[in-house]
Structure 1
Amino acid sequence: MVRAGDLATADSARPADGITAGILTWAFPPALVDEAVAAASRTEQRARTLSARTMVYHALAMWLYPSTGHEEVLRRLMRGLARKHGWARGWRMPTPSALAQARQRLGPAPLRLLFRTVAPRAVPQAPPGMRRPVTLDALTLCVPDTHANRDRFGTAATADRGTVPQVRLVALGHCGAHAVLDAAVGPLSLGSACLALELLPSLGEGTLLLAELDALSVGLWRQAAGTRADLLWRAGPDWPLPVDEVLADGSYLSRLAEPEAPAAAPVPVRVIPYDRDGWSGPAERLITTLLAPEEAAAAQLIEAHRSRWGLADMVEDILAGGLSGIELLRSRGPDLVEQEIWAMLLVHHAVHGLIVDAQDFESATAEGLVTVAGTVRMAPQDRL
């Protein structure tokens, strides 16, 4: 067993460690990592054993070794870098306290900036006349129960753990490519709709935004529509949606009122009733800004909404089939919790970049709607 202070050499590295290092440096070349570190003002003023660049890769590697402790992850990472790239030969394992301080020094900002640099490259823009199906989804994650996490994120009751601190993640994900395009992290008190406002600049013409109105708000609907994106949201049975005009495909025109602002003018929408077996039943309703059936038929919009891919799917993807008893987030301080979340999004981006090449990106169109499968592999860049 290699202990703290022992040399981490290429000779002692396992092949799997070299593969891990290769994935990370292929997806996130050192020059790109250094740019994010500099933009976050985390560049060191003096040489450190645990540089900011090293700690970015360590945060990422934590998700490739989800059941391994922080120190062992660092040991494996440095072995892999030595084996794969000849980097860090003769490097010595620091103490656990030094590693904890280095993680805290790095903070979440470099990983957040790195994600927002690479994420827009995951999926190309829709071709002219087609729409890019994007889902708006939220996920609430339990974090270790510490005073710092409770103060920053707030608490909520769970079925099996009592009242614990939780953090909220809201993201835009491409439904076909299963790629996260943008994300926001915050305390429970902000709410999903408030965090979603940070993501609106990532929308625009050519986007079909899929969501659940019950989890959001009419005010967010108005602002999302202002980005020129088309909206397709599910509305629960409690939303009043009077029939103004029945259309040829069974959908109807209506008005969406804003309970939080009753004086505001109602929003014109098209309502599509459907059930689990089709689109003509009353059990569910979709509302859309696409007011004319000629723009998109009801049956096509139902199929588009059924294609939604969410953040829970991303977690299952990244942990190869589910949590398997592993606590998802393990940091006892809020900055490190956010660091973990941005690292999770980055690793998901990297793993999907390995799966499908740009030439395998297939699309099927129907009446102006596009459904796509696969992700775009990032081109290899600078190597160590």
Structure 2
Amino acid sequence: MVDEVGRSEKRRRLLSARFTVYFVLAMCLFPQADYLEVLRLVKTGDPGLRPWTGVNKSSLTRARQRLGWTVMRELFRAVARPLGRKDDLFRGLRVLALDGTLLAVPDSAANNDAFGKSGSQRSPMGYPQARVVAVAECSSHAVLDAVIGGFKESERIVSDALHTHVGSGTLLLADRGLWGLARWHRLRDQGTHLLRRIERRKARRVQDVLPDGSYLARIEANKHSKAAGTVKAPPALVRVIEYRVDGHADIVRLITSLTDPEKYPAAELAALYARRWEIELVFDEIKTHQRGRPVLRSQTPDGVRQEIYAHLIVHHATRDLLDEAARLHRSTAERTSFTRALHVVRRTVISPSGFSPLRPHTGPAPRAGRDRPQSVTPPPPP
């Protein structure tokens, strides 16, 4: 991966690009530790490493700068894959959720220029914030794709760069803040089915009422769009599902590309839409349990992007471990503890028999039931 993005060294270095990748991952795995402590923990996991003299925070910072952030992005795209099983599908479709979140970054001049912060230009408030828009698999909580933007950038605009794992055989759930007719057509052209909430003033032109109470409607581009000079998207025929949640007077209004009421009943789609909130749990796992600190540590925009993609890699690897444990114990990944799995991963890294960042792993694969860490065992079913 380092060679593919042109980050291999022209001369041999003590802090090689390959080692720096592992160091950045360890940095995200131990967010409360400083650079030298992270280096000590990596050294603990491989007692065979020779003593490193002259390595300090500055040299580790320069190693991160040489590595850049695109290596971590491509590594994330290489490892990110769906983890759900066939019985997690909704009538043959893999259910994904799309949403965004904000991550506070250090208040340096470079980060402020690149990402921006809340408040006005005269009275900015708080820390600069990076906006992360991601697609996650609802059943396994695995993040499949993510794009990083700034605080001032719209989630809708940032989400247009998402393309991995979204296509034929998937059903994408999204909230009304991510609506866009051109975006609808683009995703449909890729084969993606859509189920999303929408404002009540849209899709009011009823074409046909279906047996289950849903109806087909025509939705058109906004005639008063401020995007001057842009070609308006053509109309789309969508299926509208309206319902109320117990205890709430407001009507929830969904539109979907699944227009067959017999194959995709309205009641099932309404219940399924509640799974959109699974991505909020994914963000909580990363921001609260894994990151463990309110602000990222990188002082530069490239460092911030590198750190965010490293966090996504660590999260996916932890979720992969949970998925394997769930398969062994015939449970589901949703019922296992992410925090407990994170502790197992951390202990594995600092174990003297753990994986070495400088030598490829050539030993046999862990065997189910003996070598797999037992502390990941999910709770018994009720």
SS at structure 2 position matched to 1:209: strand
Whole-angstrom distance in 1 between the partners of 2:321 and 2:273:
27
Question: Which 10-residue stretch deviates more, 66-75 or 351-360?
Answer: 351-360
Match of 2:361 in 1: 383
> 1:358-369 maps to which residues of 2 (within 5 A)?
360=327
| Alpha-carbon spacing, 1:264–1:39, altered in 2? closer, same or farther (3 Å) | closer
- Residue identity matched to 2:71: P
Match of 2:60 in 1: 99
Q: 1:89 is matched with which residue: 21, 25, 50?
A: 50
- Is the 1:362–1:374 Cα contact (8 Å) retained in structure 2? no
Match of 1:269 in 2: 238
Match of 1:67 in 2: 32
Question: Which 10-residue stretch deviates more, 102-111 or 63-72?
Answer: 63-72
Residue 190 of structure 1 deviates from its aligned partner by 4.2
Match of 1:110 in 2: 71
TM-score, reference length from structure 1: 0.77
SS at structure 1 position matched to 2:128: strand
- Residue identity matched to 1:51: S
Match of 2:104 in 1: 142
- Is the 2:28–2:291 Cα contact (8 Å) retained in structure 1? no
| Alpha-carbon spacing, 1:263–1:192, altered in 2? closer, same or farther (3 Å) | closer
Residue 319 of structure 1 deviates from its aligned partner by 5.9
- Residue identity matched to 2:141: H
SS at structure 2 position matched to 1:104: helix
| Alpha-carbon spacing, 1:323–1:112, altered in 2? closer, same or farther (3 Å) | closer
- Is the 1:192–1:216 Cα contact (8 Å) retained in structure 2? no
Match of 2:259 in 1: 291
Match of 2:131 in 1: 168
Give the % identical residues. Answer: 38
Residue 112 of structure 1 deviates from its aligned partner by 0.7
Whole-angstrom distance in 1 between the partners of 2:316 and 2:335:
12
Query: Any gaps of 5 or more consecutive residues in structure 1?
Result: 1-35, 364-370
- Residue identity matched to 2:251: A
SS at structure 1 position matched to 2:80: helix
Match of 2:272 in 1: 304
Q: Pairwise CA RMSD of aligned residues?
A: 3.4
- Is the 2:100–2:155 Cα contact (8 Å) retained in structure 1? yes
Size of the alignment, in residue pairs? Answer: 333
- Residue identity matched to 2:246: D
Residue 287 of structure 1 deviates from its aligned partner by 0.5
| Alpha-carbon spacing, 1:237–1:164, altered in 2? closer, same or farther (3 Å) | farther
Whole-angstrom distance in 2 between the partners of 1:374 and 1:348:
16
Question: What do residues 218-265 of structure 1 show as CA deviations (whole Å, max 9, x unaligned)?
Answer: 221111111111100011334353433222112111122222379643
| Alpha-carbon spacing, 1:290–1:315, altered in 2? closer, same or farther (3 Å) | closer
SS at structure 1 position matched to 2:234: coil
- Residue identity matched to 1:148: A
- Is the 1:122–1:181 Cα contact (8 Å) retained in structure 2? no
Query: Any gaps of 5 or more consecutive residues in structure 2?
Result: 337-354, 363-382
Q: Does 1:350 align with 2:317?
A: yes
TM-score, reference length from structure 2: 0.77
